[in-house]
């Protein structure tokens, strides 16, 4: 059973200020620019817990929304246990925008197009159609009356609808289409055969991406090894673009500490040996640096290496 350290997890509102020691954001921005011209692809960001994978994905999402007014960007924070979680995130975002629903509905085949038109209308049955499209079960009598395929969407149908929706979005000119999939490593904990089915469905989705679409996952090194060993076809798709997040050097840690203090409006002189203490304990893990710095700020221990070590010894 795996465990995680209690590291700070960013939310989308907090990613505008980003310390990019690796130059990752520019690299990703270049990929998105290339994709926006009509190409498609997939990639993966690999790094240990606390190395900033979530921060990178959220920052990319923010960049895409601001830079490309017709973009469609989805961030999925956890895989859950099947492709339905990813499907629900995409379908949910689509159904929130009536105008976009109408655009996509006219560009996908039936019966999905008709279902989307009903879901985007004020028709009496729209609430049932929305529930069904979002993966919830509807009563048997509703299923029969509306001519639905089943009382609930299964994994295979979810993949088919995902592909149709993404192509409908592309035909409607909503590019780039960016799909950000965090914590891919969680799939490895899913028992077989569901794990293999999930990975296969992701591979099918990637293989069906239209021009203008990009799928980017994040995972730990151990999670990546698990993907390689469990389902190499997906690993091959994702390995076409790889970003490896490494630990900070001492110099990068010093700059990061200064960046964090300035961002939080903390005016304090930080002893070089204090930074060294933070670096030695954190081993250059950015998330751990944030946690340790918070402890020192709260205890007023930034100006003395001895004081800093005494304070940190109580927590680590």
Where residue 243 falls among pLDDT bands split at 50, 70, 90? very high
Query: What mean pLDDT comes out for the span 186-208?
Result: 97
Where residue 157 falls among pLDDT bands split at 50, 70, 90? very high
pTM: 0.92
- CATH code of the domain containing 144: 3.40.50.300
> What pLDDT is stored for residue 269 in this prediction?
80
- Give the HSE-up count for residue 167: Cα atoms under 13 Å, Cβ half-sphere: 16
Last residue of a domain, one of 219, 244, 269: 244
Burial (Cβ within 10 Å: 0-12, 13-18, ≥19) of residue 119: buried
Where residue 22 falls among pLDDT bands split at 50, 70, 90? confident
Is residue 7 domain-resident? no
Same domain, 122 and 95: yes
Is residue 234 domain-resident? yes
Burial (Cβ within 10 Å: 0-12, 13-18, ≥19) of residue 55: buried
For residue 223, is pLDDT > 80? yes
- CATH code of the domain containing 290: 1.10.8
| Structure token pair of residue 73 | 């960007």
For residue 264, is pLDDT > 70? yes
User: Which residue has 């007014």 as its token pair?
Assistant: 69
Same domain, 225 and 269: no
The DSSP code for 283 is T
- Could you list the residue range(s) of the whole structural domain that residue 291 is in? 250-313
Where residue 11 falls among pLDDT bands split at 50, 70, 90? low
Q: Of the candidates 29, 24, 108, which has an alpha carbon nearest to the alpha carbon of residue 61?
A: 29
How far is the C-alpha of 153 from the C-alpha of 135, rounded, in Å?
Answer: 5
> What pLDDT is stored for residue 263 in this prediction?
87
Tell me the CA distances in angstroms from 243 to 44, 235, 240, 287, 288, one per residue in order.
6, 14, 10, 18, 21
The 10s digit of each residue's pLDDT in 34-56 is 999 999 999 999 999 999 999 99
Is residue 214 domain-resident? yes
Q: Of the candidates 212, 225, 243, which has an alpha carbon nearest to the alpha carbon of residue 37?
A: 212
Where residue 254 falls among pLDDT bands split at 50, 70, 90? very high
- Return the SS3 of 72: strand
The 10s digit of each residue's pLDDT in 55-105 is 999 999 999 999 999 999 999 999 999 999 999 999 999 999 999 999 999
How many domains does the chain fold into? 2
The 10s digit of each residue's pLDDT in 285-313 is 999 999 999 999 999 999 899 999 999 99
């Amino acid at each position: 059973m795996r465990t995680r350290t209690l590291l700070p997890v960013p939310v989308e509102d907090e990613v505008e200020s980003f310390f990019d020691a690796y130059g990752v954001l520019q690299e990703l921005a270049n990929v998105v620019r290339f994709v926006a011209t009509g190409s498609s692809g997939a990639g993966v960001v690999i790094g240990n817990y606390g190395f900033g994978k979530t921060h990178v994905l959220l920052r990319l999402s923010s960049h895409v929304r601001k830079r490309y007014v017709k973009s469609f960007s989805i961030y999925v924070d956890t895989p859950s246990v099947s492709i339905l979680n990813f499907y629900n995130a995409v379908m949910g975002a689509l159904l929130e925008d009536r105008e976009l629903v109408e655009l996509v509905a006219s560009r996908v085949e039936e019966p999905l197009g008709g279902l989307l038109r009903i879901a985007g209308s004020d028709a009496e049955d729209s609430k049932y159609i929305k529930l069904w499209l979002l993966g919830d079960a509807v009563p048997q009598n509703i299923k029969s009356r509306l001519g639905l395929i089943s009382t609930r969407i299964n994994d295979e149908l979810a993949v088919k609808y995902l592909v149709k929706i993404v192509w409908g979005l592309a035909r409607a000119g909503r590019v780039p289409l960016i799909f950000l999939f965090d914590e891919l490593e969680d799939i490895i904990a899913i028992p077989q055969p569901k794990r293999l089915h999930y990975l296969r469905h992701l591979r099918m989705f990637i293989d069906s991406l239209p021009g203008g679409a990009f799928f980017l996952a994040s995972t730990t090194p151990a999670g990546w090894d698990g993907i390689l060993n469990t389902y190499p076809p997906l690993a091959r798709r994702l390995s076409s673009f790889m970003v490896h997040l490494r630990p900070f050097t001492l110099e990068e840690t010093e700059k990061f500490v200064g960046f964090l203090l300035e961002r939080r409006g903390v005016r304090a002189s930080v002893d070089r040996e204090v930074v060294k203490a933070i670096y030695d304990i954190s081993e250059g893990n950015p998330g751990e640096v944030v946690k340790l710095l918070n402890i020192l700020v709260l205890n007023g221990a930034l100006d003395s290496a001895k004081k800093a070590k005494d304070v940190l010894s109580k927590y680590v």
